[in-house]
A and B are shown apart, each in its own frame.
Chain A
Amino acid sequence: MVHRVTTSSINAELVRNMQQSYNKYADLTTKISSGKKINSIIDNPSEAIDIIDTKRELNRIDVWQDNISTLANELNQSMDSIDIVIEKVQRVKDLATSAANETFSEERLNSILEEVDTLIESIVSSANTKYKGNYIFSGTNTQTPPYEVQYDKNNNIIGIKYNGTMPYGEWERQLEISEGVFQTGNVTGFEVFGDADAEGHPTGIMGELIDFKNTLEDIVNNNGKTHTDITNLLDNFTHSINQISGINSRLGTINNKLEMFSNSLNSTKLNLKEFLSGAEDIDMTEAITEWYSSQYAYQASMQVFTKFNSMSILNYI
């Protein structure tokens, strides 16, 4: 049999081709109008997981950056409070220097004592700073003020008790700042200011404050202490101020580290967004060029179809 081309087979073929061009045309039209290359995982199966992963990563970066800013804010607050404390301790030290002067009268010493009491109370209140509802120097006892001033029955300050957690054990509060990297954002009051519990062993600046106050009282009450004892205390103050400043610059280092992390997260974020846009968003220039050419293809197939169908031997008999 001679190879035949039948009317129905060529019709079917033409219709199929026309449908194909139409599908492509319609597909591109939806893509251009939505601006997205893929709307469902089956639109591009091979890239679907990458897209899901990228979106997840971007979400995590947002969370990490939020954590970083929370940490940075708390650190700044800590450093500010420590600075204030240092300032006040400096004032106490100045008072101590004056008090070491033997010519000071009892009256003068009493007024220094009064000022020291006020300073102690204000130092304690600075150490009891809160951020987002948490006492920042309490370790993990975030709902308990880290320091409480202890008074005797005559309303005399006899100690400053530390109520936070100890810098050994459960004291850290950590936030995730990058995958699996947890950054501690707090420092315990005990480490910074020490403890001067009336019934315990006094340490740190708090201990020295109480020590100074006790020595002054002893001098006023002639309990065997002399001005030389105060001169001895001066070195301790200098030492403690240096130590606290050291802690403050350590916190500053953490802050720098956070900034570094934040910067690197930002650049990762940009890269991921670029990838996501490449995978998801349509390249308009390319799409519209393709759209026009598919439109021509569709028009051409329609024209061929109508031209072909109007052609037959019938036109010539």
Chain B
Amino acid sequence: MSNLFSTLHISGTALNVNQSAINVVSNNIANMNTEGYHKQKVNLSALTIDIPVGNNINSQINTDAGVEITSIERYSTDFLNSYYNDQITEQSYLNEQKNTMTNIANVFDDLEEQGLDAALQAFYDAINNLNQTPNDMNARIAFTKAVSTLVKAMNKVSKRLDDTEEGNNGNGKSKESLNHSKIKSTIEGLNQSFDELAGINKMLANSQTGSLENNALLDKRDTILKEIAQYGDFDTEIQFDGTVKLSLGGINIISGEGVEGYLGVETAIKYDEYCENIDIENTNTSNAVITFGKNDEIKYHNLNKRFDTGLIGGILDSTNTVKEIKGDLDTLAKTIADTFNEIQTREGAYYIANVDGNIELTNENIDDYKIFITNDNTNTITAENISVNPLLLQDDGYNKIAAAYFPDNNPDINAVGNADNIIAMLNTRNTANSIEKMYDGIIGEITSSYESKTNEAAMQDSVVQTLDNKISEQTGVNLNEEITDLIKFQNAFTASARVFNVCNNVLDTLVRLGE
């Protein structure tokens, strides 16, 4: 009766297979909202007959047959993944640059009428006021106050730009500021992803391909690779067993189960010290320097060039962006200082203080009469160190302001209504390259840079979105598909069970034949 048992066997395999298939469907449904989940599908095939059956038609029919699961296929888009990851790298780079520009632009809050421009206007207003009554004590004191407000506004903008940069890459000097920076926590997050990826490599190496478990590991692998791609342009090489070799510009980071090393981050100054000691070319342009090594032993001291894109590249870049804007601001501060100091101390400029004695400006005392000086004993005025000459803020310091100007250098000390020097100061506003126009230039640079970064980032966002759609269309779960499959497999299961029952009844009948 081998043929009846073979039927029983066939329906048995069908019961098993359909049950497993329902299992896979239920896994799909369970994970329809899981991030990075790829739809899986059972591949069925008829059982092959492994013994020769000859030409006898009866024996052909009666041979054991049935159905089996050859593999559980994972819908994948491996061909798209590497391109997709590259786009993600670019996307996070552009978005980070956009962030930096947004932060910088927020420092220049001129439309709220409390920015640097407002201080500049108040400064010129004070000069105009002084022109109306050049000998008036209150007008003079108001002038020194407006100067104070102006330098404080400059200092504040400079400080806020520094803060932006310090939040990103630290200040380049202190380890403490680096530890609180974005770059530090970003690198830490990346190192964790390295560990996770290595762990998955290990599990992948020990798991059966085409199994549910293996597929779940591949999902996790792809999710982590996507995550890592945000940070920078890593090279990935997928091995035949599904494990990944991860490297960065030729530096091996992960191969197999082991992490070769972790990324670290150092202050620029520490790196400079290192360069001094071993005499290598210093090409660092950021406040933070990315290193690579293991167990406190640094193998590579500067990987910044390898991070020219991705989130890390974007963060590292901010040093330069901020530096450029600060450079412009420093030029502005220096121009303000030079312009007004020059007028204030030019030959023929007259100080009320002269009444007490005949003051002649020399190289030694000229600094006492300048309006703007540095507050850190350096010679170059920057937005950070510009400050009011404290001598002007003393009790009668306002007398040091040179309102009058006698070009023949023959001061008429009664001519306290002479304001020719003040008029010269007012006139600095009316030149083609006035301070205010210079400031407009800075704002223009910021806004146009912000605009272009925003556009680039938006374009890249839509590229990534399109790819995202494409990938999820190909690998995601479609509920209708699953439910149809479910019904399909359920029907097959029910039918197989019916066959089994029929077979069983037939056998039963046979068994009772002799009774």
Contacts and interface: CB of A to CB of B under 8 A. Distances in A.
B423 A140 contact: no
Contact of A312 (B109, B124, B476, B479): B479
B416 A9 contact: no
B176 interface: no
Contacts of B39: 6
A312 to B, nearest CB: 5
A176 interface: yes
Contacts of B447: 41-42, 45-46, 48-49
A164 to B, nearest CB: 9
A141 B416 contact: yes
Contact of A41 (B111, B418, B477): B111
Interface in B460-498: 465, 468-469, 472-481, 483-484, 487
Interface stretch (A24-32, A53-61, A212-220, A242-250): A53-61
Interface in B432-457: 436, 440, 443-444, 446-448, 450-451
A176 B135 contact: no
B443 A142 contact: no
Contacts of A5: 473, 478
Contacts of B419: 173-174
Contacts of A312: 479-480, 483
A12 B32 CA distance: 12
A100 B473 CA distance: 119
B117 interface: yes
A134 B133 contact: yes
B186 interface: no
Interface residues of A, number: 56
B458 interface: no
B295 interface: no
Given A141-B415, A175-B131, A176-B131, A4 B483 contact: no
B427 interface: yes
B121 interface: yes
A134 B131 CA distance: 13
A5 B476 CA distance: 8
A9 B473 contact: yes
A185 B477 CA distance: 85
A7 interface: yes
Contacts of B32: 7-8
Contacts of A53: 440
A174 B125 contact: no
Interface string A55-99: 110011001000100100000000000000000000000000000
Nearest to B35: A8
A140 B125 CA distance: 22
B136 interface: yes
Contact of A143 (B416, B468, B484): B416
Contacts of A60: 121, 124
B444 A49 contact: yes
Contact of A9 (B105, B414, B448, B472): B472
B78 interface: no
Contacts of B414: 141, 143-144, 163, 165
A289 B479 CA distance: 40
Contacts of A49: 440, 443-444, 447
Interface string A93-133: 00000000000000000000000000000000000000011
Contacts of A133: 133, 136
A80 B139 CA distance: 28
A180 B416 CA distance: 23
Contact of B478 (A7, A13, A40, A140): A7
A52 B416 contact: no
A145 to B, nearest CB: 11
Contacts of A4: 473-474, 476, 478, 481
A132 B427 contact: no
Contacts of B109: 40-41
A45 B448 contact: yes
A7 B128 contact: no
B105 A40 contact: yes
Contacts of B125: 59, 63
B376 interface: no
B187 interface: no
B415 A39 contact: no
Interface string B22-63: 000000000011000001000000000000000000000000
B469 A13 contact: yes
B135 A142 contact: yes
Interface string A201-238: 00000000000000000000000000000000000000
Contacts of A39: 111-112
A287 interface: no
Contacts of A13: 469
A40 B113 CA distance: 10
Contacts of A280: 111
Given A42-B105, A49-B444, A139-B415, A170 B110 contact: no
A174 B424 CA distance: 11
B416 A132 contact: no
A38 interface: yes
Given A12-B468, A41-B443, A176-B128, A7 B479 contact: yes
Contacts of A67: 128, 132
Given A9-B472, A140-B418, A317 B111 contact: no
Contacts of B135: 142-143
A165 B483 CA distance: 104
A1 B476 CA distance: 13
Interface string A139-179: 11111100000000000000000010100001001111001
A275 to B, nearest CB: 15
A36 to B, nearest CB: 9
Contacts of B420: 170
B111 A52 contact: yes
B111 A48 contact: yes
Nearest to A6: B476
B436 A8 contact: no
B374 interface: no
A8 B443 contact: no
A11 B105 CA distance: 35
Listed residue (B412, B415, B419) with the most chain A CB atoms within 10 angstroms of its CB: B415
A139 B417 contact: yes
A27 to B, nearest CB: 15
Nearest to B444: A49
Contacts of A134: 133, 417
A9 B111 CA distance: 42
A280 B481 CA distance: 53
A7 B477 contact: yes
Nearest to B105: A42
8 contacts: A6-B475, A6-B478, A38-B111, A41-B108, A42-B450, A52-B111, A141-B414, A170-B412
- The 10 A-B residue pairs with the shortest CB-CB distance, nearest first, are A6-B476, A142-B417, A45-B447, A9-B472, A140-B417, A180-B430, A140-B415, A8-B476, A140-B418, A141-B414
Given A140-B412, A176-B423, A180-B430, 6 more contacts: A41-B105, A49-B440, A139-B415, A170-B406, A170-B412, A176-B426
